[in-house]
Amino acid sequence: MTKYVYRFGGGVSDGHGLSKELLGGKGANLDGMASIGLPVPPGFTISTEMCTRYLDEGQAFSDDLRAEVAAGLAHIEGVTGKAFGDPANPLLVSVRSGARVSMPGMMDTVLNLGLNDDTVAGLATTSGDARFAWDSYRRFIQMYSDVVLELDHDGFEEALEIAKEDNGYFLDTEMTAADWQGLVGTYKALVEKLWGKPFPQDVHDQLWGAIGAVFGSWQSERAKVYRRLNGIPHHWGTAVNVQAMVFGNMGETSATGVAFTRDPAKGDRAYYGEFLINAQGEDVVAGIRTPQYLTRTAREAAGAKPLSMEEAMPETYAELAKVFDLLETHYRDMQDIEFTVERGKLWMLQTRSGKRTASAALKIAVDMANEGLITEEEAVARVDPAALDQLLHPTLDPTAVRDVLTRGLPASPGAASGAAVFDSETAQNRAELGESVILVRTETSPEDIHGMHAAKGILTARGGMTSHAAVVARGMGRPCVSGAGTVSIDAKARVMRIAGREVKEGDIITIDGASGEVMLGEVPTVQPVLAGDFGVLMGWADKVRRLRVRANAETPLDCRTARDFGAEGIGLCRTEHMFFDAKRITLVRQMILADSEAGRRAALDKLLPEQRADFTQIFEVMAGLPVTIRLLDPPLHEFLPHEETEFADVAEATGIGVEALRRRAAELHEFNPMLGHRGCRLGVTYPEIYEMQARAIFEAACDVADKSGAAPIPEVMIPLVGTRRELELMKIVVDAQAKAVFAEKGRTLDYLVGTMIELPRAALKAAEIAEVGEFFSFGTNDLTQTTLGVSRDDAGRFLTTYVDKGIYATDPFVSLDIEGVGELIEIAVERGRKTRPNIKLGICGEHGGDPASIAFCETTGLDYVSASPYRVPIARLAAAQAALKNRR
């Protein structure tokens, strides 16, 4: 029989050593904390396997599960000495979700479960606090009605406001026991009205309702969106954690808080966090009350008055600090912790590896390796390569003039400018039209996830550094300023007011997530300087990686950026981009529209010096490194004139009439250009184009070698080859040019002629093609398109649905379809190497910068990956991680 329930706490640890895959992150770590003797309220975890089963089997609970849950409850009762549903001494539990990886705020939680009309009196007696008991009961009804019964929660909020108004109160804390009891009556009536049945009084019904709701929340729309954005597979499911309640809202000696063992924004080695006296956990995260600092240093740095926990509860704080150190040593990583103090007694509710900004991730990994807590290689494995993106982007120009409107909390670093928008729908709609937007909200909730994703930055008026907005923005790498208290937002009127000034929807604002500043207008930015921890970690990564990393670049500036980021060569220089220059496009059009070889050659002769100049500059920047130059690839009609004036320009340059030009342009029209007259088919039909390009390459290479002594290593690449003969014909053209140029220049140079593998046929016939080709570069953009039969330009319309329905795990144009396209690559590698054992193998499709695809390139034994310049560091780190994984 499969076991589904794992108990923890009170000296028991059923899940000891079991995985997060089974217990979920939260469950595994609760068990972990309990097993090292930390004060964890007793409870049990229902495994993720049960979630999958429950959702697959029509949402029913088996008898086996019921029996296991009963044993779990008995365990909690045994440890606490309380009984579930006992009117004299009632046990209350929390029911929380917990997937393998944390999905903050995406799934459901129910607190104070086990309260009913009878047990509320027992709670009043055992706690000695009737007000607390009735407040807990009304909180429970409110939460249960929202999460489990799915009733509209506005009515509950309204009823509370009315109750306060009737009594002339301003704050919840002014409500008395009798007031809360009255509100419980109102809430129960409201439930009956909205739900058609009385609020469930049977505590076991309550529990099963909550378990079902938590499992069900895995399928909620917001959870699905979150999974899609974060590449989390739908089949993982969530665990459910049922745990004895402890209360941070039992008066002034009680508190609740969240903490990080190091600063999650900057990475400094300092405890970091917030707490609230006399409150329940959700109050901190929800950002409803502004929390107090954990440490005195942090409070003083912020110039805040309310005492820090270190000052207000020194003994408990000291105990907590010891727990922080213990947890860091145990998990060997920075921890994100939730705790509660119930009448002076510390309880640990959660620990997990803390989310952090990219710069904090770097600093923490490097520091921990230097402290001896982890090895250099572990440090390399710790930093998410994709997160480096955050570091490689601009910050505000320190010399720029700023019109500062206000300052909030620096919740997630990076600077962003855009049009202020006040709801997530508008954010998404305007972003889809290509506009940069800043999402401005009083506070965000999980429903805002799509708007936050669409926005360039997020600004909130309420909430601390651990509020929903802050946590999610950091995870997404979006700049965020939270808790900007002087901002008053009128979302209906689409306006915010700050100290007498107004910002309307569409007005441009800038936020700086590193300083917390909010500015009017667009403030210029500067490129990041990468040094310090970044350099150290990259150095460690370079020591372990096997794959070389090159860049896709075609301008000297991009080549320089790539080289500065550590590129070891150019893996793809797309020559067509050079043809669009204003000076050249007329010549290119003249070449295309010519109806004879002589006409084409006349234009190509004029293009030659231009191309040679391009290659000269690139070779100079990349001196001594390999540079792969791809000969012309796109269908010629992409260069054709569209506007009247463009036709007139070509007519004037060629002497051919506009009408004749139009006819020729119409002749070039293709129904399916991606599969049409493009790639090496251009070179086969018009060899003079490739002749000119090859000549330009060799002339430039000889010039640079003569001048600088650092000979470039040109690798001439033929695109869209499907047969050996195509490549052979093109190689003859290229070799002839090399020979001619070397003779003219009185010198020789090493060079290679190779091909892209972009067609399934090329992959299958790799053995033959390798007889001619000296290298293969996998053009996985086209190879994905041609293997899947999915147009890379039109896939957007249906790909999201395909990913949602689990047809593709992720977008195959972003992350390689390893099963399909990957198999073709493996075939080509094996067959190519059989013919030519030392054939050079690389990848230059977009996948060359994607960590998961890079891992595949490592296991397949490619020699290098090539990525866009800004992704070069990501590729270096991902290559190192792949090498480490392969070693194990």
Residues that bind Mg ion (CB under 5 A): 758, 779, 782
Q: What is the largest CA-CA distance in the chain?
A: 102
Which residue lies nearer to ligand PEP by CB, 341 or 821?
821
Report the nearest approach of ligand PEP to the CB of residue 785 (Å).
8
Report the nearest approach of ligand PEP to the CB of residue 844 (Å).
5
Strands 626-630 and 570-574: parallel
Stretch that binds ligand PEP, among 160-168, 186-194, 421-429, 778-786 (CB under 6 A): 778-786
Which residue lies nearer to ligand PEP by CB, 360 or 841?
841
Which residue lies nearer to ligand PEP by CB, 497 or 574?
574
User: Does the protein bind ligand PEP through residue 572 (CB under 6 A)?
Assistant: yes
User: Does the protein bind ligand PEP through residue 790 (CB under 6 A)?
Assistant: no
Q: Where are the beta strands (DSSP E) in 669-758?
A: 713-718, 752-757
Which residue lies nearer to ligand PEP by CB, 292 or 575?
575
Which residue lies nearer to Mg ion by CB, 336 or 782?
782
Report the nearest approach of Mg ion to the CB of residue 712 (Å).
23
Q: Which residues lie across from 403 on neighbouring strands?
A: 520
For residue 123, what are its two tokens?
């709670």
Distance CA 419, CA 520 (A): 10
- Are the CB atoms for 696 and 615 separated by under 8 Å? yes
Q: Cα dist. 347→248, 275, 297 in Å?
A: 10, 14, 24
**Does residue 844 have an active-site annotation?**
yes
Give which of 275, 299, 243, 259 is closest to 94, Cα–Cα.
Answer: 243
Report the nearest approach of ligand PEP to the CB of residue 585 (Å).
19
Among 574, 577, 662, 677, binds ligand PEP (CB under 6 A): 574
Contact characters 622-661, ligand PEP, x per CB under 6 A: -----------x----------------------------
Report the nearest approach of ligand PEP to the CB of residue 780 (Å).
5
CA-based torsion, 39, 41, 44, 45: positive or negative: negative
User: Does the protein bind ligand PEP through residue 779 (CB under 6 A)?
Assistant: yes
User: Does the protein bind ligand PEP through residue 821 (CB under 6 A)?
Assistant: no
Among 336, 758, 768, 850, binds ligand PEP (CB under 6 A): 758
Stretch that binds ligand PEP, among 179-187, 277-285, 706-714, 776-784 (CB under 6 A): 776-784
Residue 176's binding partner among ligand PEP, Mg ion, none (Cβ under 5 to 8 angstroms by kind) is none
Residue 336's binding partner among Mg ion, ligand PEP, none (Cβ under 5 to 8 angstroms by kind) is none
Stretch that binds ligand PEP, among 93-101, 365-373, 503-511, 774-782 (CB under 6 A): 774-782
As to burial, measured by CB atoms within 10 angstroms (0-12 exposed, 13-18 middle, 19+ buried), residue 74 is middle
Which residue lies nearer to ligand PEP by CB, 780 or 853?
780
Give which of 27, 74, 30, 76 is closest to 49, Cα–Cα.
Answer: 27
Which residue lies nearer to ligand PEP by CB, 516 or 845?
845
For residue 680, what are its two tokens?
């090496």
- Are the CB atoms for 773 and 753 separated by under 8 Å? yes
Stretch that binds ligand PEP, among 84-92, 728-736, 739-747, 779-787 (CB under 6 A): 779-787
Give which of 181, 54, 172, 208 is closest to 120, Cα–Cα.
Answer: 181
Report the nearest approach of Mg ion to the CB of residue 720 (Å).
7
Report the nearest approach of Mg ion to the CB of residue 784 (Å).
10
Q: Where are the beta strands (DSSP E) in 53-130?
A: 83-84, 90-91, 93-99, 109-113
Segment (H or E) for 876 = helix 872-887
Distance CA 686, CA 600 (A): 9
State the residue number with the nearest CB to Mg ion: 782
- State in Å, rounded, how far the first CA of the chain is from the last one: 33
Report the nearest approach of ligand PEP to the CB of residue 861 (Å).
19
As to burial, measured by CB atoms within 10 angstroms (0-12 exposed, 13-18 middle, 19+ buried), residue 608 is middle
Distance CA 16, CA 350 (A): 16
Measured at the CA of 421, the angle between CA 417 and CA 424, to 5 degrees, comes to 115
Catalytic-role residue among 559, 573, 844, 857: 844
User: Does the protein bind ligand PEP through residue 845 (CB under 6 A)?
Assistant: yes
Distance CA 108, CA 94 (A): 11
* Residues with Cβ within 8 Å of residue 364, at least 6 apart in sequence: 262, 267, 334, 356, 382
Distance CA 136, CA 140 (A): 6
For residue 235, what are its two tokens?
């089949």
Residue 572's binding partner among Mg ion, ligand PEP, none (Cβ under 5 to 8 angstroms by kind) is ligand PEP
The residue count for binding ligand PEP (CB under 6 A) is 10
Report the nearest approach of ligand PEP to the CB of residue 778 (Å).
7
Which residue lies nearer to Mg ion by CB, 44 or 639?
639
Which residue lies nearer to ligand PEP by CB, 722 or 779?
779
* Residues with Cβ within 8 Å of residue 35, at least 6 apart in sequence: 8, 13, 16
For residue 20, what are its two tokens?
């997060």
Strands 437-441 and 457-460: parallel
Q: Which positions from 444 through 463 interact with ligand PEP, judged by CB under 6 A? A: none
Among 145, 428, 780, 868, binds ligand PEP (CB under 6 A): 780
Residue 568's binding partner among ligand PEP, Mg ion, none (Cβ under 5 to 8 angstroms by kind) is none
User: Does the protein bind ligand PEP through residue 844 (CB under 6 A)?
Assistant: yes
User: Does the protein bind ligand PEP through residue 560 (CB under 6 A)?
Assistant: no
How many Cβ atoms from other residues are within 10 Å of residue 465's Cβ?
Answer: 26
Stretch that binds ligand PEP, among 148-156, 234-242, 773-781, 872-880 (CB under 6 A): 773-781
Which residue lies nearer to ligand PEP by CB, 120 or 763?
763
Residue 845's binding partner among ligand PEP, Mg ion, none (Cβ under 5 to 8 angstroms by kind) is ligand PEP
Give which of 172, 157, 539, 553 is closest to 369, Cα–Cα.
Answer: 539
User: Does the protein bind ligand PEP through residue 781 (CB under 6 A)?
Assistant: yes
Give which of 314, 325, 319, 341 is closest to 257, Cα–Cα.
Answer: 341
Which residue lies nearer to ligand PEP by CB, 369 or 716?
716
Which residue lies nearer to ligand PEP by CB, 588 or 631?
631
Give which of 137, 106, 132, 103 is closest to 119, Cα–Cα.
Answer: 137
Residue 574's binding partner among Mg ion, ligand PEP, none (Cβ under 5 to 8 angstroms by kind) is ligand PEP
374: helix, strand or coil: coil
Give which of 197, 637, 760, 258 is closest to 463, Cα–Cα.
Answer: 258
User: Does the protein bind ligand PEP through residue 662 (CB under 6 A)?
Assistant: no
Report the nearest approach of Mg ion to the CB of residue 758 (Å).
5
How many Cβ atoms from other residues are within 10 Å of residue 85's Cβ?
Answer: 19
Question: How does DSSP classify residue 118?
Answer: T
Residue 513's binding partner among Mg ion, ligand PEP, none (Cβ under 5 to 8 angstroms by kind) is none
Give which of 276, 286, 347, 270 is closest to 307, Cα–Cα.
Answer: 276
Report the nearest approach of Mg ion to the CB of residue 261 (Å).
47
Report the nearest approach of ligand PEP to the CB of residue 485 (Å).
49
Report the nearest approach of Mg ion to the CB of residue 852 (Å).
21
Catalytic-role residue among 468, 559, 573, 857: 468
**Does residue 51 have an active-site annotation?**
no
One-letter amino acid for residue 756 of the chain: M
Stretch that binds ligand PEP, among 69-77, 307-315, 408-416, 780-788 (CB under 6 A): 780-788
User: Does the protein bind ligand PEP through residue 782 (CB under 6 A)?
Assistant: yes
Q: Cα dist. 527→388, 398, 816 in Å?
A: 14, 11, 30
Residue 555's binding partner among ligand PEP, Mg ion, none (Cβ under 5 to 8 angstroms by kind) is none
Which residues contribute to the site for ligand PEP (CB under 6 A)? Answer: 572, 574, 633, 758, 779-782, 844-845
Residues catalogued as catalytic: 468, 844
